[in-house]
Amino acid sequence: MSARLNIYGDAISGNCLKVKWTADLLGLQYDWIETSVLEAETRTPEFLAMNPAGQVPTVVLADGAVLAQSNAIILYLNKVHSGGLLPQEPYAQGKVFEWLFWEQYSHETAIAVRRFHKHYLKKSDAEIDPKLMEKGAAALTLMENALKDGAYLVGEKLTLADISLVAYTRLAHEGGFDLEPYPAIRRWIARVERDLGLQPAQTPERAA
C-alpha cells in the first residue's frame, strides 16, 4: 500500500467505477487495487478488518483512514479537492443528494442487481425475481421524465448525481433493460460518457 489514495474496487462494479471516474476528473494520483466480488475478495479477514461491511469500493487515504460507500467517497473526494461536481447553492445541492440516495435505494437495487444475476451469475430470466424488472423500469421512467427538460440531472452541468446514476444506467442492457424507449436517457448517457472520456457502452457490440 502506497502513501497515496488507494482505491479497492472491482472493475465490473459501477459503484467502484464512480470512484475511479471522479478521481480521474479531479486529476488525482491513486492506486487501484482490483478486488473481486465474485471471488469473495471482499470477505477475507484482511478486507473485513479494513471495511467490516465487506463491500467495494473502499478507499484508504494517504494517512491510512478508511472510507466506504461509493457516493460518500465521491462526495469526499470532490470536497477535499475542491471539485466543482457538487453545487454550492443549497437547493441544487439538496437535489444532488436526493438523486444520490435515490440511486442507492431505488435504482442500484434493481438495475445493478438484475445485471449481477443475469450477466455475472448467468441466471435465466425465470430464475430472477420478476420484481427487479418492474422496479428497474419504474426507475428508468422516473429518470426519463426528469431528463426530458435538461441536459443533466441537476442544473446545466455535470454533477456527482450524473456520475453516480450513469454508472449502472449505461450498463442497463446487461441486466436485460432495453433503453430504446428512453431517448432522453440515451442522449444523457452519451453526454455524460463524453464528459467522463468513456467509450460508449451502448454500442453496436450490444447487438452482437
Residue ranges binding a copy of itself (CB under 8 A): 52-53, 61, 65, 67-73, 75-76, 79-80, 90-91, 93-95, 97-98, 100-102, 104-106, 108-109, 142, 145
Q: Please state the closest distance from residue 55 (CB atom) to a copy of itself, in A.
A: 8
Q: Please state the closest distance from residue 113 (CB atom) to a copy of itself, in A.
A: 11
Nearest residue (CB) to a copy of itself, 110 versus 202? 110
Distance CA 197, CA 130 (A): 35
CA 53 vs CA 27, 66, 129, 155, 162: distances in Å: 28, 12, 25, 34, 26
Q: Please state the closest distance from residue 54 (CB atom) to a copy of itself, in A.
A: 9
Nearest residue (CB) to a copy of itself, 167 versus 202? 167
Nearest residue (CB) to a copy of itself, 84 versus 200? 84
Nearest residue (CB) to a copy of itself, 38 versus 62? 62
Q: Please state the closest distance from residue 207 (CB atom) to a copy of itself, in A.
A: 31
Q: Please state the closest distance from residue 205 (CB atom) to a copy of itself, in A.
A: 31
Nearest residue (CB) to a copy of itself, 35 versus 78? 78
Distance CA 46, CA 66 (A): 13
